[in-house]
Structure 1
Amino acid sequence: MHIRTIVCRKVLLPVFSSLLIASFVPQPMASASALKPQTTGVMGAKEAEAFADQFFNQPQIRKQLAGAAVVLVKNDQVLLEKGYGYADLSSKQPIDPEKTVFRVASISKLFTATAVMQLAEQGTIDLHADLQTYLGDLNIVNKTNKTLTMEHLLTHTSGFDYTDSAGGSAQEIPNKQFIKENVPTIVREPGEAYRYDNYAFNLQGYIVERLAGVPFTQYVQEHIFKPLGMGSSSFKLTPGLRKNLAVPYTAQKDPIPEYPSRPAESPDGGMFSTGRDMAQFMIAQLNGGQLAGARILSRDSVLDMQQIHHQIHPQVPGTGYGFESFYQNSYNGQRVIGKGGDLPGYHSWMWLMPEQKVGGFVIFNSDGPDLREEFFKAFMDHYYPGSPTTASTTDTSQAELGQLTGIYQDLRLPFWILQVSATDDGKLTIKDPYGSHILREIAPLLFEDELGNKAAFKVNSNGTPYAFYNKMDSWAKKAPEPHGYTDVGNEHPYASWIHEAGQLGVLASDGENAFHPDQEMTRAEFISGLMHLTGVAPSQSTPLTSDPQEKKYLGYVQKAIELGLVQGCGPEQSFAVTADITRQEAAVLMWRAAMIAGVNMTQSSGIKLAGDTAPWAVEAVKYIVNNGMYGPEIALNSAGALDYRSTEPLLRQEAAALLSLFCNRLSVK
């Protein structure tokens, strides 16, 4: 069977790009608001509107904005409900927070969690019981000795090997079908570590539907939306909602074509709503589950949802039931619980301050800089300015610090790695795609860098260290010690890269523990190694066929085709799965992966290429060469140019260097 080569660009599937949009912690920025800080919190509607007006009227904000809806509530009142910019740039249709409909993306998870909590109140669900009780004929393989429960699903701690599904058919499929076609395996003890889990919330919707005996969308409509008067909210894009749906835009203000939810009416991120409707939900959450005469949850259930149930360190907020603790650097000492949402062209953030009886919701209909974070930081600095504090320093021995050093691989996006090392003066150095920083310990296993970002570590009962730093949606797990190979000694010129590729799990040895560094590798094997770094599950079925020894790679090859990593412009450009991959073909795959990840594509060194490179691969090879992602097999010539040997087969040792250096030299925009 043949797969298509990597020649032409195309629009990447939005379901995969949305996986990456909200993964990273924005670096600290100055507050965009110049209003004098208040010391008494949000007071009244007039002042709240003045604050929001000043924020959105700033030239740099107006330049980036397509449209936004903002809602602020306090106690039982809506203080601010206002639109800025346009729902449709071409017709100049303004945002109306009462009528304009948005995809709220992962804020949908709060409504799925609310449905679960309702069934828990009725005794239909036990949050701590074996989840298999509620799955019927669906069986989830558990490779651990710990039972999976509903609480693990609610807190993103399921231990699933795959929590996201990208690519696949552009057609909508029912959630029941989606759940059964994408069953994960439990590979970590449930409750052990945090990894943002979309599948877990789709699974909750599936369980709600099974136990309630009605479709999930109908259940939420009858038991949440209708009691709260949320008449413009649904998990289904009805004709009435489509008429008022804000057009999504790219960062360049190009309209994004309408795309389906996957699965259809998806419990993890398929909800449509307005600013007015979201105000109703926030007030109910702040009022113990009640809005006017309607009650959707008991006060105890609401408190349980808003409580932190899982965290890496007592001083670092974690996850509640459906809620999360993003943008922690802006909390200014207040207790904040919230939920963000990201889909192409839609970016939302809802936050609650239960002790203050204050809530906020902001949503944008364009990609680009994270204006949600800027607005939230401006809000907190204006209404709840924090008092500067001097963090204490903990004296930790070099031996204790040494236990934390090593390579950490992100659980959700395995290409995102942290390199942690100890300094001679009792500190840690940490390097990630944002750069290198010095960490000083301010409490046991809690550190702070020079920018004020927290880094926390946790060593589980089985001795596995995890780290949290600069990435909101998952922890990173310390990679195992380098694996030894019978044919790769420490003196081997590629030894460090080969060992690290083994640590990262991207290239396997044979059954006799040999690596075969000088052996050529097939396209299927290389694609499989690269796809492993994305954290996306391989396809469960594929029309591709191959030699028996290559069959294990075909699920990843199929997924690469679905994501657009492997593509072509015609059947004449197809090539065999089992053919050896050339260096330029591998370069194009890495280049496209970098573009999907949204990393820095700057090519600053300006190295000139020598030798033969196909026109369709020149830009990709330049990216690889200018970022130094190669081993000693190539070097600059006397004229200062470099022959990448583009048309030659890629050897396994060279693939190890390429994949390892890709992770190590990744930098975000």
Structure 2
Amino acid sequence: MPSFRSKRSSKIVVLGLLVAVVGAGLLGSRTPVSAELAAPVSAAAPEGTGADLDDTVQLTAFIDGMMSGQMDHYMIPGAVVSLVKDGKVLLAKGYGHSNLEKGTPVDPETSLFRIASTTKLFTWTAVMQLVEQGKLDLDADVNTYLQTMQIPKTYPQPVTMRHLMTHTAGFEEGGVGYQITTDPEKLPVSIADTLAKHMPARVRPPGEMMAYSNYGAALAGLIVEEVSGIAYNDYIERYIFEPLDMKYATVQEPVPASLQPYAVLGYGRENGQFATRPPTFEGGFRPAGSGSVSAMDMAHFMIAHLQDGRYADAQLLRPATVKLMHAPAFQFDKRMPAMDLGFYELKINGLRVISHGGADELFNTELYLVPGQQIGLFVSYSGGESGTAAAEFVQALFDRYYPAPELKRVSGSVEPSASVQKYAGSYQFTRRNHTKIDKFFSFLAQINITAAGNRLSVGSGAEQQLYAPIGPDLFQEVGGTRQMGFRTDASGKVTYLFMDMLNPMPLERTPLWDQSKLWLPLLGVSAVLFITALTGFAYRRREIQAMPKAQKRAVRLSALTAGWALLTSAATFMVMNMDLVVRLSRITPSLYVYLLSPIILMGLTVAIIVQGVWVWKNSYWTVLKRIHYTFVVLAAVVLSVFLYHWNLLGWQFG
């Protein structure tokens, strides 16, 4: 879920969608059904089994080889890597070009890559600076700090900064028409005005469950601004970039004129060639994703976080504050990776990793810190299939230098088939919209879990992934180490699903009215009925012409409703495929016009319902023809209810 501001906002939501549609092949290599469950022997890779990370000659050769292959295979115009260990930069290197037209090579010291949601780490660091100064309390109502707006008291529990930093504030997702802009003339934009104008609904009590939120991060940035009395851009520059000697870094949009020559261009593909694309801007949401930074400057930032808040002579945060920020702050399950204060945890080859990624349509970024090994990795790409490339690169690096510990075979806990069956069903991401037109764009974003014997599976056929129980509400991939856990309510009913590789994007049970497996068959049958109404009208023209006026009116209304319903259905799914940048940056005239269609359909549906009553009351035609007419009426009702349920009835913009 853009989810556009982060790789766990854009890439992960896309991954979830693809899992739902094409199966679990994206989750990893397929495992034979007969494979046993594998579990790590220890929490860290045994020493001496990996290559020597301090051998910079071999390290450079390895990364050069990886990048060279990726740039060609994934059609990536530019990339950059920085790697730190024990407070020192082991490697900082650029690949490809920052400007293809000018032939400008990527420079790790000066080339500014858009880092999207990785910007949030600057915002969270600023928050923690104010916390240690006593100006912010992590557990106080954020309304006590907000001067220009207030968060509605939807629930008895207030939203706190801890909730914002762990994405547990309970906001719905939003963004259609306003989340970004592609027009630099509309900048700068006030954070306060933007957040007040586009406030999402609070849809669950704070602290209950994670739901990744750009709004929450932007709200934290506004609080930094209003509590410190310094504009957000200036605060980040003065208290983070300057102490860390980050001279090629900015959260300003567009990039300041002094840094513009160093901005990396984003590219798409046209006719097999790279073509420049205009950048997107966060505007009032910039604390959630407006950063443009060089790899070397990100190395400084990583060193500070790994070295108890210190870089050179600057103390960014106190050691105790860094420890608090990097510690678990919200856990779906204590046996699975947590959400820290701004960082989300992963487990890679048995190592605890704290991370944050970022992605927009043109750039993909990953930042990984391994506190136990004093390692930091930053990698960013400027186009192509960069999301896939980033995941591949990071795994290859860990496999070479910190290979997975030896696996031992375990059988997993034995659960009766009946108890495993309760976990089967459809799940949807907690990060979604409930009250606006945005809701429609999560229609297909569901993951289906099936149960067979005492195994759960995601996907089907050759792409099926099996999970076996290893504890109460906890399953592990058969033949692998990935895990998924469930939450249940007091009655034992399953409420939430968490897959460790999708942190921080949990899912919850999909109610029947949200399930695509309910709506798609209903819409399919309705479409067939509409087609039969139209074909019947075409083939029975002479018969209809001879009918009494009232019956003729009924048939014509049926054909008109069917034709309009089919046009509305086609337009609806064209809307779903709207270009992402267009969808998030503006409300197009065509979208405004389209939204007339459901209203007209609703009027036709009311009319045909009334007409259907007269058809039966006055015994028009044969019984079979009256039954068919009734089914067409019901089809119109189904489509109208669908459009109403998914917030497509009227102009419901955030």
TM-score of the superposed pair, with normalisation by structure 1: 0.69
The alignment status of 1:401 with 2:420, answered yes or no, reads: yes
Superposed CA RMSD in Å reads 4.3
Cα separation, 2, equivalents of 1:392 and 1:142: 49
Shift of 1:519: 8.4
Pairing partner for 1:335 from 336, 352, 358: 352
Alignment match, 1:261: 281
What secondary structure is seen at the aligned counterpart in 1 of 2:230?
coil
> Is the 8 Å Cα contact of residues 16 and 166 (structure 1) preserved in structure 2?
no
**Contact 2:221–2:232 (Cα < 8 Å) also in 1:** yes
* Structure 1 residues 45-56: aligned runs within 5 Å: 45-56=56-67
Question: In the aligned structure 2, how far is the partner of 1:197 from the partner of 1:163?
Answer: 9
User: 1:430 & 1:159 partners in 2: Cα distance?
Assistant: 27
| Aligned partner of 2:50 among 36, 39, 45 | 39
Structure 2: how far apart are the matches of 1:41 and 1:314? 33
Residues 364 and 383 in structure 2, CA contact (< 8 A), matched pair in contact too? yes
Match of 1:193 in 2: 209
Alignment of 1:83-98 (within 5 A): 83-98=94-109
Partner of 2:638: 653
**Partner residue, 2:401:** 383
CA distance in 2, matches of 1:479, 1:161: 16
- Note if contact 1:72-1:80 (Cα within 8 Å) is conserved in structure 2: yes
Q: In the alignment, residue 478 of structure 1 is paired with which amino acid?
A: R
Task: Kindly indicate whether the alpha-carbon contact (under 8 Å) linking 2:333 and 2:485 is maintained by their aligned counterparts in 1.
Answer: yes
Q: What residue is the counterpart of 1:665 in the other structure? A: none
* Cα separation, partners in 2 of 1:649 and 1:531, compared to 1, 3 Å: farther
The match for 1:250 among 268, 278, 284 is 268
Cα deviation code 1:628-650 (max 9, x no counterpart): xxxxx9xxxxxxxxxxx9xx997
Alpha-carbon distance in structure 1 between the residues aligned to 2:342 and 2:502: 18
In 1: Cα distance, 2:136 partner to 2:55 partner:
41
Contact in 1 for aligned 2:422/2:494 (Cα 8 Å)? no
**Which structure has the highest helix share of the two?**
2
- Indicate the larger mover: 380-389 or 204-213: 380-389
Please name the residue that 1:58 is paired with: 69
The amino acid across from 2:339 in the alignment is T
Q: Is the 8 A contact 1:144 1:187 kept in 2?
A: no
Match of 2:381 in 1: 364
Change (3 A) 1:441 1:125: same
Does the 8 Å CA contact 1:347/1:367 hold for their aligned counterparts?
no
Aligned pairs for 1:285-300 (under 5 A) are: 285-300=305-320
- 214-223 or 14-23, which moves further after superposition? 14-23
- How many angstroms does 1:308 deviate by? 2.4
Shift of 1:65: 2.2
- Residue 542 of structure 2 corresponds to none
Shift of 1:132: 1.8
**Inter-CA distance 322–59: structure 2 relative to 1 (3 Å threshold):** closer
Q: Is the 8 A contact 1:581 1:650 kept in 2?
A: no
- Residues 1:28 and 2:47 are matched in the alignment: no
Q: For the pair shown, which has the larger CA radius of gyration, 1 or 2?
A: 2
Q: Give the TM-score, by structure 2 length.
A: 0.71
- Segments of structure 1 that go 5 or more residues without pairing to the other structure are 1-11, 31-36, 484-489, 499-517, 535-557, 583-632, 634-644, 661-669
Is 1:240 equivalent to 2:264 in the alignment? no
* Alpha-carbon distance between aligned partners in 1 of 2:86 and 2:237, rounded to the nearest angstrom: 25
Deviation string, structure 1 residues 309-356 (Cα, Å, up to 9, x no partner): 223223321321111235x4xx10111111111012111111111111
In structure 2, C-alpha distance between the alignment counterparts of 1:222 and 1:433, rounded to whole Å: 55
Q: Distance in 2 between matches of 1:147 and 1:112?
A: 21
Deviation of the 1:417 alpha carbon: 1.1
> Take 1:65 and 1:278, find their aligned partners in 2: how far apart are those partners?
21
Aligned to 1:627: none
Are the structure 2 counterparts of residues 14 and 90 from structure 1 closer, same or farther at C-alpha, using a change threshold of 3 Å? Answer: farther
Partner of 2:323: 303
1:474 aligns with 2:529: no
**Which stretch has the larger CA shift, 409-418 or 248-257?**
248-257
Q: When the two structures are aligned, how many residues end up with a matched partner? A: 527
Name the structure 2 match of 1:312.
332
Deviation at 1:524, TM superposition (A): 13
C-alpha change, 1:574 and 1:226, in structure 2 (3 Å) is closer
Distance 2:466 2:219 in 1: 41
Which runs of 5 or more residues in structure 2 are unaligned?
16-25, 31-47, 433-441, 527-559, 604-627, 646-654
Instruction: Provide the secondary structure at the position in 2 that maps to 1:651.
Output: helix
CA distance in 2, matches of 1:434, 1:91: 46
> Relative to 1, partners in 2 of residues 1:219 and 1:59: Cα closer, same or farther, differing over 3 Å?
closer
Alignment CA distance shift 1:528-1:659 (3 Å)? farther
Per the alignment, in what secondary structure is the counterpart of residue 103 of structure 1?
strand
**Matches of 1:257 and 1:578 in 2, distance apart?**
37
Q: Secondary structure at the match of 1:340?
A: strand
